[in-house]
């Protein structure tokens, strides 16, 4: 069924996902699709709206996560923290953090024990949810400037890698920084740096440009999370701090329980990307 632009502005619910460009969905429409079971990496979805990473832990670990994020603001910029047991977020009134992401990961003692599309059944009554800024947010600015996003053009999840850079530890929580990588044409790298630097609450400027070995990354074709992405002639790998870093910390620190987003399968908020741009 084809809907007019006016109808789409009123309509809050899901449509079969292949009948419309994901970039055109409003966040509430995308969340309704995910709640109904649609699974998709969210890069390129709801163009212009902010996406977030998720880490939810029992209340007795929440202060460790909060301090870890404070000490490591580039990979872990906190945009919202829920009250214990409350799956709501001020970033999207009426949304539910247990159901409105396309895919979740469940962790026990630092080990990944499952992935689900609905976390209601595993969500404890004392869970505290941290919504952490995502690099997909500055992709709007890159796209507007004409900088190609190779992973989007290739229909792939962004590539993410565990580095040998250790984050500042906090209480019981420690671990390495994770980075996301985008191939950028060499003559546009300065523009990509400038555009992302203007958005410090969603990772900001790259942490590295060029040789991945300097970050301890052995093979760009074998990412730790996400998909391998093919470079075009003249491309340079550019690396940004990544909100999957708390998941690397979970693996290192081994808390008894946690729920996170699956890498690349983010929460779509009602906030607009421009809200996080510093002029």
Digit-coded pLDDT (tens) for 111-163: 999 999 999 999 999 999 999 999 888 998 999 999 999 998 998 989 999 99
CA dihedral 228, 49, 127, 203 (to 10 degrees): 60
Percent of the chain with pLDDT over 70: 93
The residues, ordered by sequence, that sit 6+ positions from 6 with a Cβ below 8 Å of its Cβ are none
pLDDT bin (cut points 50, 70, 90) of residue 19 is: low
Q: Which of 130, 119, 158, 152 has its CA nearest to residue 53? A: 130
Domains and CATH numbers, the chain: 5-134+249-276 (3.40.1640.10), 136-246 (3.30.2040.10)
Burial class (CB in 10 A: 0-12, 13-18, 19+), 179: buried
pTM, 2 dp: 0.87
Residues 48-57: tens digit of each pLDDT? 999 999 999 9
Name every residue whose Cβ is closer than 8 Å to that of residue 233 and which is 6 or more positions away in sequence.
Answer: none
44 pLDDT band, cuts 50/70/90, is confident
pLDDT (0 to 100) of residue 21? 87
pLDDT digits over 91-100, tens only? 999 999 999 9
What sign does the dihedral 206-211-212-215 (CA atoms) show?
A: negative
Instruction: Compute the residue count for the chain.
Output: 279
Let me know: does 231 contact 154? Beta carbons within 8 Å: no
CA distance 10 to 13: 10
Query: What is the predicted pLDDT for the residue at 93?
Result: 95
């Amino acid at each position: 069924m084809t809907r007019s632009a006016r109808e789409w502005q009123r309509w809050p619910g899901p449509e079969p996902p292949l009948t419309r460009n994901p970039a055109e969905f409003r966040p509430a429409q995308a969340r309704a699709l995910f709640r109904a079971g649609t699974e998709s990496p969210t890069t390129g979805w709801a163009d212009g709206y902010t996406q977030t990473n998720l880490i939810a832990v029992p209340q007795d670990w929440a202060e460790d996560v909060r301090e870890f994020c404070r000490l490591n603001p580039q990979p872990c910029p906190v945009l919202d923290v829920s009250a214990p047991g409350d799956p709501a977020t001020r970033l999207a009134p009426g949304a539910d953090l247990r159901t409105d992401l396309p895919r979740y990961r469940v962790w026990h003692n630092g080990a990944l024990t499952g992935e689900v599309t609905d976390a209601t059944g595993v969500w404890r009554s004392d869970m505290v949810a941290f919504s952490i800024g995502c690099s997909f947010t500055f992709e709007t600015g890159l796209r507007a400037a004409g900088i190609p996003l190779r992973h989007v053009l290739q229909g792939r999840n962004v590539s993410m890698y565990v580095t040998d850079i250790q984050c500042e530890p906090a209480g019981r929580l420690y671990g390495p920084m994770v980075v996301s990588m985008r191939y950028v044409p060499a003559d546009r790298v300065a523009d990509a740096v400038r555009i992302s630097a203007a958005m410090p609450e969603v990772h900001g400027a790259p942490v590295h440009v060029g040789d991945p070995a300097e970050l301890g990354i052995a093979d760009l074709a074998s990412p730790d999370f996400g998909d391998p992405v093919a470079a075009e002639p003249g491309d340079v790998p550019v690396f940004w701090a990544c909100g999957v870093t708390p998941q690397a910390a979970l693996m290192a620190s081994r808390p008894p329980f946690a729920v996170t987003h699956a890498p690349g399968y983010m929460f779509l908020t009602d906030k607009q990307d421009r809200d996080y741009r510093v002029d």
